Amino acid sequence: MSSKKVYIYKAFERFWHWMQAILIFFLAFSGFEIHGIYSFFGYRDAVRYHNIAAYLFIGLIVFAIFWHLTTGEYKQYIPSFKNIKAQLDYYIFGIFRNAPHPTKKTVLSKLNPLQKLTYFGLKILVIPLSVSSGLLYMFYRYPTRLGIEAINIQTLEFIAVFHTIAAILLVLFLVTHLYLITTGDSVTSNLNAMLTGYEELDDGKYEEHAVASSKISIQNVE
């Protein structure tokens, strides 16, 4: 089957993806120093850098929410349980036998069912948990209009535990994600797509969507 190069990841999407990767990596690196696992920046600087990265991360999230809502791209992340088993079978068995990918990537459906479920979980559970526990960690005694007691939590322990659980889940996700990046049509095809925006998609699959989105740019691949 022939294939075409299709513009699948737009500029903001790639910017958001790489900024998010850098910030989460940096937040994890400085965070686990704060946790006491190693010493690199020194505790005080680790906290300072962690706070700066956290504000940048929140800013990025605000822009990303705006972009996803205004472009309708949020629909990519609505999970479906269809083909979940086929996708799991592929990652556990098929991939080691050179079996074909069970689901085809298209411009309007870039994520396989397992990705949809995982990213949805990250977006509505893990990242909100990380950000909200992080903000409570920062401001748990911050005076409010209602007086300091309004959010005067007696102990940081719970917050620290939730923040650390979210951090561990994010690191586990990063490690799995790095491995899965290599499981595209070639070892580097997914990485190239997120760098350049273009990915080779099977003929026929992209066409129906090319009609749907006049902005999709397609190049022939020999």
By CB under 6 A, name the binding residues for ligand HEM.
24, 27-28, 31-32, 34-35, 47, 50, 54, 57-58, 130-131, 134-135, 137-138, 160, 163-164, 167, 170
CB-wise, 28 or 114, nearer to ligand HEM?
A: 28
Nearest approach, Cβ of residue 171 and ligand HEM (Å): 6
Could you tell me the sign of the dihedral formed by the alpha carbons of 87, 127, 78, 191, in that order? negative
CB-wise, 33 or 199, nearer to ligand HEM?
A: 33
Distance CA 56, CA 65 (A): 14
Nearest approach, Cβ of residue 40 and ligand HEM (Å): 13
CA angle 141, 144, 149 (to 5 degrees): 55
CB-wise, 10 or 177, nearer to ligand HEM?
A: 177
Nearest approach, Cβ of residue 172 and ligand HEM (Å): 10
Nearest approach, Cβ of residue 52 and ligand HEM (Å): 10
Distance CA 44, CA 60 (A): 25
User: In what side-by-side order are the strands of the sheet with 218-220?
Assistant: 198-202, 3-7, 218-220
CB-wise, 30 or 106, nearer to ligand HEM?
A: 30
> Phi and psi (nearest 5°) for 220?
-70, 145
User: Tokens in use for 8?
Assistant: 């699948």
